[in-house]
Amino acid sequence: MNKNILINRNFLSQTDGIHPTNIPEVKIYKTTQYEPKAPLIYDVCLILVLQGKKIANLSSTQLVFDCDNYLVVPTTLPLECETYASKEEPFICLIISINKEMMFEIIDMVSKKASYEKKENSLGIFSDRVTQDIENTTKKLLDILESTEESKILGDLVLKELYYRIAIGDNADFLHKMFLENNHEAKIARALKTIHDNYDKALDIPTLARKEQMSVSSFHTHFKKITSFTPLQYIKKIKLNKAKELLSRHNYQVVDTANALGYDGASQFSRDFKNYFGYPPKEVKPL
């Protein structure tokens, strides 16, 4: 991404953190501090880096997203991310929620083109090269974000153009599969959403598999292929990330958090939390 794209942008003066924009699907994230590798949850989004670099780790897979490479997370995934930033050169990116109905329409049209070829990709996340077309569309998006009126009138049109650009990217194979209803990828994506929405309930694998009309063994195989985690590992990671949010943003006590997540006691919860984050839940700082 050409750095000239940032010239005279109002968001450059914003404080560190995530900020809303005039388009609900688009948020701007800025940090002036290096952030060491830490667990984060990403949910069906496109990330376009305007300045700086971030590295996402999913098990043994490492993905770099920077000014030359964007990141697409087509389904809810727990990642470990490291951010490179400084006061002199902050990390700035756009976090764009993917409108599923709009993307389904685009995928349906693009997939019917016999000339379109995709690289095989089974993992539920990918990065791809920022083309000149994507850079032009990003600049157009930043321009209209400056105006409430233009955002309201032109926002959906520009987002649709951006979705189209990523749908024809070299590595968009999983994105296509996710929007084909009976594919294993689409079934696992729905199961991930179920887990994400019901983190506080008792979740068992046979029920999740049966809901998607899959055998337990097939569900387990495709789940790990897409997320790199077993279903039980994934459920635990979602619960623990939610626990950190409850502790830091909602002032929950450790015992209350353990109960909210369905743990039998605070001791096991505290052990799992420390193993995952590297420090006990009582040391979580409020935001």
pLDDT tens digit sequence for 29-72: 999 999 999 888 888 899 999 999 999 998 888 999 999 999 99
Per-residue pLDDT, 119: 66
Q: Looking at the domain covering 3-177, what would its CATH class be?
A: mainly beta
pLDDT of 80 over the 60 cut: yes
69 closest CA partner among 166, 155, 136 = 166
Mean pLDDT value of segment 228-237: 93
Angle at 214 between CA 213 and CA 218, to 5 degrees: 170
pLDDT of 87 over the 60 cut: yes
pLDDT level of residue 249 (50, 70, 90 thresholds): confident
pLDDT tens digit sequence for 97-151: 999 889 988 988 887 664 445 566 677 889 999 999 999 999 999 999 999 999 9
Domain with CATH 2.60.120.280 in the chain: 3-177
25 closest CA partner among 132, 136, 131, 157 = 157
DSSP letter, residue 15: P
Domain with CATH 1.10.10.60 in the chain: 181-283
List the CATH code of the domain at 181-283: 1.10.10.60
> 42 pairs with which residues across the strands?
77
Mean pLDDT, the chain, integer: 90
Per-residue pLDDT, 183: 80
Q: How far apart are CA 102 and CA 44, in angstroms?
A: 13
**DSSP-derived secondary structure for 160-209:** HHHHHHHHTSTTTHHHHHHTSTTSHHHHHHHHHHHHHHTTTS---HHHHH
List all residues 6 or more positions away from 86 whose beta carbon is below 8 Å from its beta carbon: 32, 33, 34
> 63 pairs with which residues across the strands?
56
